[in-house]
Amino acid sequence: MVDLKVNFCGIKSPNPFWLASAPPSNSGYQVQKAFEQGWGGAVWKTIGAPVLNVCNRYGTIDYKGSKIVGLNNVELISDRPIDINLKEMAEAKRNFPDHAVIASIMVESKKEAWQEIIKRTEETGCDGYELNFGCPHGMSERGMGSAMGQVPEYTCMVTEWVTEVTKKPVIVKLTPNVTDIVHPARAAVKGRASALSLINTINSIMGVDLDTFELSPNVGGKGGHGGYAGPAVRPIALHMLSAVASDAEVSRAGLPISAMGGIETWRDAVEFMLLGATSVQICTAVMHYGFRIIDDLVEGMSNWMEEKGFESVDDFIGKSLPRVSSFGDFDLGFQSVARINHDKCIQCNLCYIACNDAAHQCIDLKDLKITNEAKERLWPVVREEDCVGCDLCSKVCPVDDCISMVEIETGRPHITWNQLVATKPEVLEWDKMEEYRKDAHIHIH
Amino acid sequence: MAEHYKPTKYKAWEMTIEERFSEYHAPFSQREAKLEADRCLYCYDAPCMVACPTHIDIPTFIKKISTGNVKGAAKTILEANLLGATCARVCPVEVLCEGDCVLEEDHKPIAIGRLQRYATDYASERGIKFFKAGKAKGKKVAIVGSGPAGLSCAGELAKLGFEVTVFEKQKWAGGLSTYGIVVFREPVEVSLAEVKAIEDLGVTVKCGVEIGKDIQFEQLVSDYDAVFISVGLGKVPDMEVPGEDLKGVVDGLDFIALTKTEKLETIKYGNRICVIGAGNTAIDCATIARRLGAERVTMIYRRSEAEMPAYHFEYQFALQEGVSFMFLTQPVEIVGEGGQVTGIKCVRMDLGLPDASGRRSPVPVPDSEHVIPCDMVISAIGQIKPFSFVGALAKLGLQNVKGYIKVDSKTNQTDHPKIFAGGDCVRSHGEASTVMAVQDGKIAAKGIFESLIGSTELSGATAAGSKK
């Protein structure tokens, strides 16, 4: 049996799947129900400053029959009384001592306010805190949430205020609404955070109604930016996670990361963990399908680990991080070309038109006479000598494993851009670049 | 709800007769249509488009449904095929567009026919008109027969600016779409709406006028600049067996026409019905008989299952409707009592050597005579060739091919320069179908234009030729 247990800077949970601080973790009823069904932990819906909510609160992107590929919201932090939240938090922790219960906090930018709410929350027995420096709507306009996360000095300062008054782990939740997420991450390290979590939601307007001209979500005829989440944001979250996880300053401090952003399946969770996440947080998928998805999350990850021979999650956390690289360190001599398997090809010719209109015109439609049909249609065939290996054709191909990218040896030097410009800085001029290309057998038509 | 979610719906005793004769496929809902349209790969140089005799730009119209531009989708369809609403319902899509869909082999082809119906119905329900009569060319064209070929030719010519008159001997226009397609495949209203759309282009449709009787053919040729003949085929031929004149022996086409024109409750049918033939019309007769309420419907065919001319999906449909089949059985006499059919005497057949059609020919088994009791016999063994027209036209120098009017396949012009022809009456080989007739009409319209005006003036917005 594989072991999914997680030790996240001292916070223990039976598996890495936590409810993200969001509507699914709004109450003791919900959190305890989730734990009963197998969730490893929950970051309680943020408590703190007094708020009033509006409706409607959600906007979605549906794509070709799939609902909620992206979800945006303008809901604020918990609008339930703090006392009730704290009472229910204590009860959840008492009933599920082995599960992770983390309090998410957000108050105005005053030392007393932060320290007071932390002290009040200590009594719940919660396992730690997540500081919400990420909420991009409603709270940010009042100087909270992402307004703090976007200024590294504030991030550091508030983190320090909190770490002064608690011995419990403090997780700083980062906003993606910044130019470079590494800076607020380093600020959290500086403020003695115990861990990081990312990403919060992304600023977004979901759409405009073509009949009414109203925005989505539509709050009584008006709309504005809200926080974007769901499967569509996953690549952005993966990038930010990898940027933070591979930052020298962050890794030197040894801070674990709880990652989120569009995780719906165990496969998504594994990807985040391969890029350095110790635990993963999930919200949109639960909002779409309910807590019951935990069954497949746990089982799917376990099966995958067994198949790969991993005994514990530590065996694969961060395993792909060494592959995170910058463009300047890529091998310029690596050459792949597209090969089309005509046994699998269904002749939709999407590869042909994509290559012809949007790539490098190296797929021809040819009469191959490989069937017995009287009027055989033309087949797409790659002119390998002209294929630049861009991979667009295999991406548009609707058939699995029909077009594969095959590595070929071209005799080009296996050198990176950084190495090249270090040894031959003259290639930064076009004429020298042309000379180099000639020597290196690089022909671009 | 998608079709495959529906439990088996057809239980005759639970449905009213109107329900049994309403369109077999429910129309796509907006969501169904979008989901199905989204499945389309939007192939480049798509095979479905090549397979369509009228070369409808199928990927384009499906993409338009997907984006919510359903009006544009209907326009794309009707630009290539003015009878798109009929074709959406009656085309043998399994052997045309859907049969060539790249998803057909290891998945499920796109439901092109039903999407086409969705788009054309959308436009029709909203009364959207896409075309108008072209600038008057000062030329008159007469069209004989208002079936799909005639209407298609009339519409295309009107778009090009010709003054078109269609002559129809029946009470209503539309030809087989109106009278010959079973009502649960195509309601009469759909066909008549298409007639109306052609009339809206300025075409005059004169029903109840028979050429050769009310107006002589020579008159037509001298009164008009060109004539297009689309008279289709004739009645079901005699079986040439004794007893054919007994009460209870009916022509299959007449039987279908009744269900299109009469109140369903008033149609007389037997309880034990034998249908002779195994083509698509025979299947229609058998399934109609079942849906009317006939207890036992047996199709009798002298060859075997493998040779039956009906489309496979039609055969499947008949089986599903509870029709039984007697293959390798040849009627030799219709027997009766007091002038009324009581049975059909048949012999068993065996398959011998291949005949001219390449199919193994049936040979009677000696001493195998037997009588199948029945109270109604529906004959659907084909249609007679347009002999009377071919005879009348021969005087004007027109040739025929095996009894069908001979035309040049590029222009559908006959041997007489003013006379063109299309549809089933020229289909001397290959399968006759609505969509082929529509294409004939388009080709002839182009041919007439070129012959009367000249080819150089034919601009883009016209008749035949595929759009790419």
Domains parsed from chain A with CATH numbers: 6-321 (3.20.20.70), 327-439 (3.30.70.20)
Closest CA to A175 of A139, A149, A193, A203: A149
Q: Is B35 within 8 Å of A65 when comparing Cβ atoms?
A: yes
Q: Are A19 and A43 in contact (CB under 8 A)?
A: yes
pLDDT for B28: 96
pLDDT for A410: 87
pLDDT for B356: 83
- Would you place residue B2 in the very low, low, confident or very high pLDDT band (cuts 50, 70, 90)? very low
Q: Which of B38, B43, B66 lies closest to A348 in CB terms?
A: B43
Distance from CA of B279 to the nearest CA of A (A): 26
What whole-number distance in Å separates Cα of residue B144 and Cα of residue B405? Answer: 14
- Do B140-234+384-457 and B3-125 fall under one CATH topology? no
Residue of B nearest to A349 (CA): B44
What whole-number distance in Å separates Cα of residue B96 and Cα of residue B90? Answer: 12
Check if the interface score ipTM surpasses 0.95.
no
pLDDT for B361: 86
What SS3 class is residue B154?
helix
A352 in reach of chain B (CB within 8 A)? yes
Q: Is A350 within 8 Å of B42 when comparing Cβ atoms?
A: yes
The total number of residues written for chain A in this structure: 445
Q: Is A352 within 8 Å of B44 when comparing Cβ atoms?
A: yes
At A263, which amino acid appears?
I
What whole-number distance in Å separates Cα of residue B221 and Cα of residue B228? Answer: 10
Residues of A in contact with B50 (CB under 8 A): 377
Residue in the block written with tokens 């034998």: B274
- Would you place residue B465 in the very low, low, confident or very high pLDDT band (cuts 50, 70, 90)? very low
A365 in reach of chain B (CB within 8 A)? yes
- Would you place residue B459 in the very low, low, confident or very high pLDDT band (cuts 50, 70, 90)? low
Q: Is B34 within 8 Å of A65 when comparing Cβ atoms?
A: yes
The total number of residues written for chain B in this structure: 468
CATH topology of domain B140-234+384-457: FAD/NAD(P)-binding domain (3.50.50)
Q: What is the pLDDT of residues A27-39, one digit of tens each?
A: 999 999 999 999 9
- List phi, psi (to 5°) of B296: -130, 125
Residue B240, by phi and psi: left (phi above 0), alpha (psi -120 to 50) or beta?
Answer: left
Closest CA to A129 of A173, A94, A164, A88: A173
Q: What is the pLDDT of residues A129-158, one digit of tens each?
A: 999 998 888 888 888 888 889 999 999 999
Please give the angle made by the CA atoms of B181, B182 and B187, to the nearest 5 degrees: 85
What SS3 class is residue B347?
strand
Q: Are B272 and B375 in contact (CB under 8 A)?
A: yes
Q: Is A65 within 8 Å of B105 when comparing Cβ atoms?
A: no
**Higher per-residue confidence, B155 vs B357:** B155
- List chain A residues with pLDDT less than 50: none
Q: What is the pLDDT of residues B365-404, one digit of tens each?
A: 999 999 999 999 999 999 999 888 898 899 999 999 999 9
Residues of B in contact with A353 (CB under 8 A): 44
Residue of B nearest to A354 (CA): B44
Residue in the block written with tokens 């069209």: B143
First-last CA distance in chain B: 34
- Would you place residue B12 in the very low, low, confident or very high pLDDT band (cuts 50, 70, 90)? low
Residues of B in contact with A348 (CB under 8 A): 41, 43-44, 46, 102
Domain extent listing, chain B: 3-125, 140-234+384-457, 249-379
Distance from CA of B459 to the nearest CA of A (A): 28
Q: What is the DSSP letter of B305?
A: G
Q: Which residues touch B337 (CB under 8 Å, ≥6 apart)?
A: none
Six-digit token string for A167: 């011995």
Residue of B nearest to A377 (CA): B47
Please give the angle made by the CA atoms of A185, A191 and A197, to the nearest 5 degrees: 40
Q: What is the pLDDT of residues B209-230, one digit of tens each?
A: 999 999 999 999 999 999 999 9
Residue of B nearest to A344 (CA): B106
Q: Which residues touch A422 (CB under 8 Å, ≥6 apart)?
A: none
Residue B1 has pLDDT above 50, yes or no: no
Percent of chain B with pLDDT over 70: 94
Model confidence, pTM: 0.90
Closest CA to B281 of B262, B249, B256: B256
Q: What CATH number is given for B3-125 in this structure? A: 1.10.1060.10
Q: Is A346 within 8 Å of B103 when comparing Cβ atoms?
A: yes
Give the DSSP letter string of A33-67.
Answer: HHHHHT--EEEPPPEES-----S--EEEEEETTEE
Closest CA to A106 of A127, A130, A81, A132: A132
Residue B158, H or E segment: helix B148-159
A349 in reach of chain B (CB within 8 A)? yes
Q: Cis peptide leading into A415, omega within 30 of 0? A: no
Q: How many residue contacts between A and B have a Cβ separation below 8 Å?
A: 31
What whole-number distance in Å separates Cα of residue A261 and Cα of residue A239? Answer: 11
* Residue in A346, A355, A365, A373 to test binding to B, most B beta-carbons within 10 Å: A346
- List phi, psi (to 5°) of A7: -120, 105
Q: Alpha helix (H) ranges present in A255-324?
A: 266-274, 284-289, 294-308
Q: Is A64 within 8 Å of B105 when comparing Cβ atoms?
A: no
Q: Is A350 within 8 Å of B41 when comparing Cβ atoms?
A: yes
- Would you place residue B455 in the very low, low, confident or very high pLDDT band (cuts 50, 70, 90)? confident
A377 in reach of chain B (CB within 8 A)? yes
pLDDT for B359: 81
Residue B464 has pLDDT above 60, yes or no: no
- List phi, psi (to 5°) of B353: -75, 155
Residues of A in contact with B102 (CB under 8 A): 346-348
Please give the angle made by the CA atoms of B213, B217 and B223, to the nearest 5 degrees: 120
State the greatest distance between any 2 C-alpha atoms of chain B, in Å, as a whole number: 70
Residue B282 has pLDDT above 70, yes or no: yes
- Would you place residue B3 in the very low, low, confident or very high pLDDT band (cuts 50, 70, 90)? very low
Residues of B in contact with A349 (CB under 8 A): 43-45
Residues of B in contact with A398 (CB under 8 A): 41
Residues of B in contact with A365 (CB under 8 A): 45
- Would you place residue B11 in the very low, low, confident or very high pLDDT band (cuts 50, 70, 90)? low
Q: Which residues touch B17 (CB under 8 Å, ≥6 apart)?
A: B264, B265, B291, B292, B293
Distance from CA of A379 to the nearest CA of B (A): 11
- Other beta carbons within 10 Å of B216: 12
Residues of A in contact with B45 (CB under 8 A): 349, 365, 378
Residue in the block written with tokens 């992304």: A202
pLDDT for B246: 96
Give the DSSP letter string of A111-168.
Answer: HHHHHHHHHHHHTTT-SEEEEE----SSSGGGT-THHHHTSHHHHHHHHHHHHHH--S
pLDDT for A183: 97
Q: Is B43 within 8 Å of A352 when comparing Cβ atoms?
A: no
Q: Which of A64, A346, A353 lies closest to B44 in CB terms?
A: A353
Q: Which of A346, A365, A398 lies closest to B105 in CB terms?
A: A346
- Would you place residue B462 in the very low, low, confident or very high pLDDT band (cuts 50, 70, 90)? very low
A219 in reach of chain B (CB within 8 A)? no
Six-digit token string for A373: 């049909």
pLDDT for A219: 95
- Catalogue the active-site residues of A: 135
Distance of CA A32 to the CA centre of its chain: 26
What whole-number distance in Å separates Cα of residue B99 and Cα of residue A342? Answer: 20
Q: Are A411 and A395 in contact (CB under 8 A)?
A: no
Q: What is the pLDDT of residues B324-352, one digit of tens each?
A: 999 999 999 999 999 999 999 999 999 98
Residue of A nearest to B44 (CA): A349
Distance from CA of A367 to the nearest CA of B (A): 14
Superfamily of domain B249-379 in the CATH hierarchy: FAD/NAD(P)-binding domain (3.50.50.60)
- Which residues, numbered 58 to 77 in chain A, qualify as contacts with chain B under a Cβ-Cβ cut-off of 8 Å? 64-65
- Would you place residue B9 in the very low, low, confident or very high pLDDT band (cuts 50, 70, 90)? low
What whole-number distance in Å separates Cα of residue B449 and Cα of residue A432? Answer: 64
Distance from CA of B104 to the nearest CA of A (A): 9
- List phi, psi (to 5°) of A197: -135, 145
pLDDT for B10: 55
Distance from CA of A101 to the nearest CA of B (A): 42
CA dihedral A385, A391, A394, A400 (to 10 degrees): 120
Residues of A in contact with B103 (CB under 8 A): 346
Residue of A nearest to B37 (CA): A64
Q: What is the pLDDT of residues B166-215, one digit of tens each?
A: 999 999 999 999 999 999 999 999 999 999 999 999 999 999 999 999 99
